[in-house]
Amino acid sequence: MSETKEDQIALDPQVQAYLDRLARADFGSVHTFTPEQAREGWRRQIALLGEPEPIAQVEDRTIPSANGPIPIRIYTPNGEGPFPALVFFHGGGFMLGDLDTHDGLCRSLANGAECVVVSVDYPRAPEHKFPAAPDACFGATQWVAEHAANIGVDATRIAVGGDSAGGNLAAVVARMARDNGPALVFQLLIYPDLDFRRTNFSIREYAGKYGNISRDAQFWFMDSYLNSEAEKLDPKVSPLLATDLADLPAALIITAEYDALRDEGEQYGQQLDEAGVAVTVTRYPGMIHEFVRHPFDASKRARLDAATALRKAFTR
């Protein structure tokens, strides 16, 4: 899907106020920092996301994997289990983000969907190149299915989800699980990063604007994650290039009007639909990348929409 400038609506006033604050702070270009400096910058912005909502139980654990231990955080809502589960992968360009940066979003989804959320702190680039992240995320999803009874989860009602890079990982894990198990009931893809070719309209039009990273920063993230240029065409890197989308779990894809990743998310939704997968694609007008984590009015609606979609998937 593409559009002209005449098709656009104005930025949401709450988003504009947020972007104005960022401009005054003048954080600089992310690709000019070391990975650890960039990570610390992201962590400092947690305060801008508002106070996280209370939840019945939060537990940090470490689980084993073929490539070393993986930290996870388990969110359990009020009520009696076994609960359905969402295995969640955070965004951050495969380099940034952690359990804390997405704590508020995970709490909201757990409460809203009345499910256990297992947030996965997968290995990040550049210390851990592709395919470390998708392999760890798939391993964590298998662990949740295999240890469901121990964490109050119904192994027959497991979904995967994530935002941005985490949406990429959720899409990849959904295909891996279809082929190897466990059976999944849903995939929640929040402004997913799905096409490393970086050629569509929204990437070209919005890079470096509206809070989106610049073209230089895009390549910094990609070069840090990948081992070679050829890997950009691997469907485990660019799920939009996958040709085997049949029999995947139903999906909700959330996109934002002024997000550089908007078009690839909407294109993936079209491809899922053509493959016979039940999919809903919802574009939020006036919104930007990362908006779902923020305390905007539209963000609350998006979280509610995501929770509603999850509840429906879990009760089918």
Torsion, Cα of 6, 7, 13, 19 (10° steps): -80
Residue of 24, 43, 18, 23 lying closest to 33 (CA atoms):
43
Question: Which one of 164, 202, 238, 299 is the catalytic residue?
Answer: 164
- Structure token digits, residue 86: 């969402």
Can you name the residues that pair with 153 across neighbouring β-strands?
Answer: 83
Strand (E) or helix (H) holding 189? strand 186-190
Q: Which residues lie below 8 Å from residue 33, measured CB to CB, with a gap of 6+?
A: 41
Biggest CA–CA distance in the chain, Å, is 54
By three-state DSSP, how is residue 227 classified? Answer: coil
3-state helix, strand, coil in the chain (%, to 5): 45, 15, 40
DSSP 8-state symbol, 316: -
Q: Is 289 a catalytic residue?
A: yes
Q: Is 259 a catalytic residue?
A: yes
Q: Is the dihedral of CA 304, 99, 194, 65 positive or negative?
A: negative
Question: Which one of 119, 289, 294, 299 is the catalytic residue?
Answer: 289
Write the single-letter amino acid at 19. Answer: L
CA 292 to chain centre: 10
Write the single-letter amino acid at 110. Answer: A
Strands 70-76 and 116-120 turn out to be antiparallel
Question: Which one of 12, 193, 259, 263 is the catalytic residue?
Answer: 259
DSSP 8-state symbol, 214: P
Q: Is the dihedral of CA 249, 255, 260, 266 positive or negative?
A: positive
Catalytic residues: 164, 259, 289
